[in-house]
Structure 1
Amino acid sequence: MALLLVALPASAADAMRVKDLGKLRGWRDNALVGVGVVTGLAGTGDSMASKTTRQSLANLLSQFNLTVPPEAIQSRNVALVSVSAALPTFARPGDTLDVTVSSTGDARSLVGGTLLITPLKAANGRVYALAQGSLSVGGYRYDANGNVVQKNHPTSGSVPGGATVEVGVSAEMMDEHQSVTFVLNEPDYTTASRVAAAINGRLGMGLAQPRDASGIEIAVPPGRREHLVGFFADIENVMVRPDRRARVVVNERTGTVVSGGDVRISRVAISHGDIKIAVSQHNSASQPYGVWQGGPDVRTAIVTNTRVDVDEQDGGHFVAGQDTVADLVQALARMRVSTRDVISILRAVKAAGALHGELVIQ
């Protein structure tokens, strides 16, 4: 089903908190990854051809003083998996993380499996968390005698709260100049200037200076360097009205149009209609005089008759004198123009140079 959304024009009531527009530099998640073994599978694990799985299980057993050659392992109840998680900023030892588990071998399903303890490492090679627990798989796969029934992707799952942080992390928010940098989610010079002006109006003139389209440098006063939490809270709750780019987003696959209500257009004439052309052929046999007498040069001929039908439906004719895309869309909606036709019209209006904004086609 097609969908069309139009955002209303920005107004003074559109003021937002600074914390909703971006974040302080240094506030980021850290990727963790590990390789583990899932056990307890009902014959849906890796096959005997997976040497990596058998070697991993042999290494695991050796830690418990069980020496088993890899080639002696014949179980299909285990699978080699990759384990990933995101370590948030200011994570402390004992915190739990959600874990994503996916098969790296030829296992058919991870349903009913249990992840054995797996170290999770960061890019620096240091272990920051340990993961283990029962898998939650949002699918299944069952096969017998060549018949397969499968739902979703049973070779990947998750362990909610399955990782325990062993080494905490922290972020240095202040740089060597005793200042912090606020980074916008969507770089924009106008918004950066407004954020700096709003912070200066709330906390004091000269503290915030926009450095580029995405970064606002904020000096920390000497009296507040020992109480950064309160200072950061004051910054996050400053109200500012962000600027918005004139942009229309079109998704042709789903028939979705999302437009800012203040995207302006010039006066333009639109004619939109459908022409259907049908070409049909009819074959008939021609029986000339004398065919029944069997003359040497007399024979039946196949005659092909071609017919071309042109059906031109009533096209829509429209002159847009509106100021914004929202007005144009509302006028087309009153004419009962379909959403996919609206997409074609917007593309044509942009090509004609009458759409004063960015047209993003996905």
Structure 2
Amino acid sequence: MKRIISLFACFAILIGATSPVRAERIKDLGTFQGLRSNQLTGYGIVVGLPGTGDDSLEYATVAMKGVANRFGLTLPPGVNPATKNAAAVLVTAELPAMAKPGQRIDVTVSAIGKAKSLRGGTLVMMPLMGADGQIYAMAQGNLAVGGLGVEGRDGSTTTVNIPSVGRIAGGATVERLVATGFEQSPYLTFNLAQADITTALRVADQINELSGQDLAVATDAVSIRIQAPADPTQRVLLMGAIENMDVNPGEAPARVIVNARTGTVVINGAVKISPAAVSHGSLTVRVTESPEIVQPAPFSRGQTAVEQRSDIAIEQEPASAFITQGASLSEIVESINAIGASPSDLAAILDALKQAGALKAELIIQ
């Protein structure tokens, strides 16, 4: 295993000499299994607001009583603390991979009640829990709120951004280490962000080629299993060397994405079209309403009425046509732009080519 590490120590030189033209770093294609962030959430109370709090909302009152009890203060029965200057909030944070106790992380604080603004507030110390119900961090601090809300005496209001959401930079302290388990495993598993068998095979081949040993094997279209040393220091060295390798990923499958709501059409470079003839025309139907007021004859018993008159006109522009002969992406766009097609027309043309069997790509309509 020491020989493996010594070989990986030379990867910086080898990688620089053998980088392919379209190579990407392995670290940009995915992550090692077990090295992921975790979401934390918690319920707390923000105090010190200038009258923009929840104003005696029931669960804000309960939260204020909890804060008072935490410091040994017991309120008399039937006495509810005023919460106009306090707000019940939901606190969220993301615990980075390998975060150690004592490190600080940012938190986002969001009002969940009737609070109009959290500007000027302070979050009282509260726990942040993970999906397993365990406490992983403690949060507290002064909020930075980017939003602003102004209300006049006549009831008019003006709001800029969202004043009921704020952030505390470094507002939480990590209290517990998340156990990943990958330190004890005899293998490292690298997972690609996008499933692709060709890319998985190339990543495994690149690791084996530069190490001179059969250390890696692609187990499926996403995962590459790599033999790893038991020593944590050597394991980290191995992971760093693998992340900085360059590999030529597999070509993306041919896809055409059409967003019918916005008219956006995206065609990747792998799209090809077989020989086909396309004719495109535009049909316009225009309806013009010209209501007329009809007056009754003098001294008659008729009533003034509105008579509807509709004029319908149909216009059709001459159809434009072009022929595809195994066209590439640039030729497709150039031909369709030449006939003045709009994004909706482009989507219709591509759909028709797909049905005719000339479009060799996956058509995705959103």
Shorter-chain TM range is 0.7 to 0.9
Gaps of 5+ in 1: 1-11, 295-299
Q: Choose 75-84 or 136-145, whichever is displaced more.
A: 136-145
Where relative contact order (Cα < 8 A, 6+ residues apart) is larger, the structure is 1
Q: Which residue of 2 aligns with 1:232?
A: 239
Residue 339 of structure 1: which of 337, 343, 347 is its match?
A: 343
Give the stretch that moved more between structures: 159-168 or 245-254.
Answer: 245-254
Aligned with 2:64 (options 50, 57, 65): 57
Alignment counterpart, residue 93 of structure 2, candidates 60, 63, 85: 85
Equivalent position of 1:201 in the other structure: 209
Tell me the equivalent position of 1:156. 165
Q: Secondary structure at the match of 2:265?
A: strand
When residues 318 and 59 of structure 1 are mapped into structure 2, their CA distance, relative to the original with a 3 A threshold, is same
1:66 equivalenced with 2:73 (yes/no): yes
User: Alignment identity in percent?
Assistant: 40
Separation (CA, whole Å) in 1 of partners of 2:169 and 2:233:
37
1:248 corresponds to: 256
Q: 1:71 to 1:256 in 2, by over 3 A?
A: farther
Q: Partners of 1:307 and 1:126 in 2: how far apart? A: 72
Q: Is the 8 A contact 1:140 1:152 kept in 2?
A: yes
Alignment RMSD (CA, Å): 3.0
**AA partner of residue 167 (structure 2):** S
| Aligned 8 A contact 1:24 1:173 in 2 | no
Other-structure match for 1:28: 36
Q: 2:128 & 2:101 partners in 1: Cα distance? A: 14
Q: Which amino acid aligns with 1:238?
A: M
Distance 1:28 1:320 in 2: 47
SS in 2 for 1:227: helix
Q: How many residues align?
A: 343
Q: Which residue of 2 aligns with 1:260?
A: 268
Q: Does residue 1:317 correspond to 2:325, yes or no?
A: no
5 Å-filtered alignment, 1:214-233, equals 214-220=222-228, 227-233=234-240
Distance 1:292 1:74, change over 3 A: closer
Of 159, 169, 175, which aligns to 1:166?
Answer: 175
User: What is the aligned partner in structure 2 of residue 4 from structure 1?
Assistant: none
Change in Cα spacing, 1:336 to 1:278, as seen in structure 2 (3 Å) is: closer
Residue 319 of structure 2 aligns with an amino acid whose one-letter code is G
Q: Which residue of structure 1 aligns with residue 123 of structure 2?
A: 115
Structure 2 vs 1, CA of residues 68 and 278 (structure 1 numbering), >3 Å: closer, same or farther?
A: same
Amino acid at match of 2:177: G
TM-score normalised per structure 2: 0.84
1:269 aligns to 2:259 (yes or no): no
The structure-2 alpha-carbon separation of the partners of 1:76 and 1:327, relative to structure 1 and needing over 3 Å to count, comes to: same
The answer as to whether partners of 2:255 and 2:270 remain within 8 angstroms in 1 is no
Name the aligned partner's letter for residue 154 of structure 1.
Answer: P
The residue correspondences of 1:85-104 to structure 2 (distance < 5 A) are 85-104=93-112
The two structures have a TM-score, normalised by structure 1, of 0.85
* Counterpart selection for 2:139 from 127, 131, 136: 131
Amino acid at match of 2:54: D
Change (3 A) 1:323 1:221: farther
Please show how residues 140-151 of structure 1 align to structure 2 within 5 Å: 140-144=148-152, 145-151=154-160
2:205 maps to amino acid: A
Q: Choose 56-65 or 29-38, whichever is displaced more.
A: 56-65
Look up the match of 1:18.
Answer: 26
Residues 156-197 of structure 1: per-residue CA shift (max 9 Å, x gap): 221121111122335332554x11111000011111111111
Q: Is the 8 A contact 2:32 2:190 kept in 1?
A: yes
Which of 174, 184, 191 lines up with 1:183 in the alignment?
A: 191
Query: 1:205: Cα distance to partner?
Result: 3.5
Show the counterpart of 2:363. Answer: 359
Question: What is the CA–CA distance in structure 1 between the aligned matches of 2:286 and 2:164, rounded to whole Å?
Answer: 50
C-alpha change, 1:201 and 1:293, in structure 2 (3 Å) is closer
Alpha-carbon distance in 2 for matches of 1:330, 1:350: 19
Contact 2:55 2:85 in 1 (8 A): no
